[in-house]
Structure 1
Amino acid sequence: MPTSDAEGKDWSLERFRYHLPNTVTDIGPGEGTYAKLFRPVHEGVWWTAVEIHKPYITKYKLKSTKTRRMYDEIHVEDARESEDHLFHRDLVIAGDVLEHMPREDAAQLLERIVAAGAWNILVSVPIVDSVQGEIDGNPHEAHLHQWDANDMDAVVGGLSGCVDTFRGGTLGCWWWTRT
């Protein structure tokens, strides 16, 4: 779904406040959960969205306007095919998006993000069985991999850096930082 469970958001916000990134890429922003949560904390951040489903841009008013800030730059594409420069950011967010691709693709994407120069990565995925198919005509909403916390620990822990984790009843969050 283009929405996210509230679990782990306070934990993520604490890390955002600590790191105060100036450039952010949000992969699969859906309704813009993280931009809405983080933008008021640190003004002047350049927000980039990589959204695979073009109708969400209008439906959730993702484009910044003179009166409302959301995303400064939007790329309508599959993040697995995005140019590396979009991941050379202070923070790359993969919030409730990696379950929408095969496990190997998700792991490779995270490796690419690190290789492209990201300083921090926030990952959030359901860590319980969360079967989901197409929603509102969007085939990209289907869950293609069911993550558990140990599986994501192995993937994020395999990236060279420092990792902090949150395990909730439904969602798990990982904050990776370059060392």
Structure 2
Amino acid sequence: MPTSDTEGKDWSLERFRYHLPNTVTDIGPGEGTYAKLFRPVHEGVWWTAVEIFKPYVRRYGLKSTKTRTMYDEIHVMDAREAPDHLYYRDLLVLGDVAEHLPREDAVALLERIVAAGAWNILVSVPIVPSPQGEVDGNPHEAHLHQWDADDMDAVLGGLGGKVETFRGETLGCWWWTRT
């Protein structure tokens, strides 16, 4: 779904406040959960969205306007096909996105993000069984992989850097930092 559980958001916000990134790419922003949460904390951040489902841009008001800015630039495309320069950022957010990809594609995307030069990565995924199919005509909402928290620990831990973890009742959150 284009929304996210509130679990782990306070934890993520604490890390955002600590790192205060100036450039962010939000992969699969849906309704813009993380931009809404983080933007008021640190003004002047350049926000990029990579959204695969074009109707969400209009439906959730993701496009910049004179009266309200959620994202400074939006790329309607599959994150697996996005140019590497969109991943050379202070922070990459994959908030409830990795479960929508086959495991091997999610791992390859995370590896590519690190290789492109990202300094921080925030990942949030359901860590309890959460089957889901198409939602509101969006086939990309289907869950293609059920992540286990230990598996995500291993994947992010294998990327080098430092990893902090939050394990909730429903969601797990990880903050990876290049060291």
Q: Deviations over 1:55-102 (max 9, x none)?
A: 000000001211111000000000000000000000000000000000
* 1:115 CA displacement: 0.2
* 1:33 CA displacement: 0.0
* Residue 47 of structure 2 is aligned to residue 47 of structure 1: yes
SS of structure 2 residue aligned to 1:106: helix
1:171 corresponds in structure 2 to 171
1:142 corresponds in structure 2 to 142
* 1:102-121 alignment, distance < 5 Å: 102-121=102-121
Question: How many residues are aligned here?
Answer: 179
Amino acid at match of 2:113: I
* 1:148-163 alignment, distance < 5 Å: 148-163=148-163
* 1:1-80 alignment, distance < 5 Å: 1-80=1-80
**2: CA distance between counterparts of 1:72 and 1:53?**
18
SS of structure 1 residue aligned to 2:37: helix
**2: CA distance between counterparts of 1:130 and 1:146?**
7
Amino acid at match of 1:156: L
CA RMSD in angstroms comes to 0.4
**1: CA distance between counterparts of 2:114 and 2:21?**
16
Q: Deviations over 1:107-155 (max 9, x none)?
A: 0000000000000000000000000000011000000000010011111
Normalising by structure 2, we get a TM-score of: 0.99
Q: Which runs of 4+ in 1 moved over 6 A?
A: none
* 1:14 CA displacement: 0.2
* Residue 84 of structure 2 is aligned to residue 81 of structure 1: no
**2: CA distance between counterparts of 1:25 and 1:39?**
13
Amino acid at match of 1:119: W
* 1:43 CA displacement: 0.2
Unaligned 5+ segments in structure 1 are none
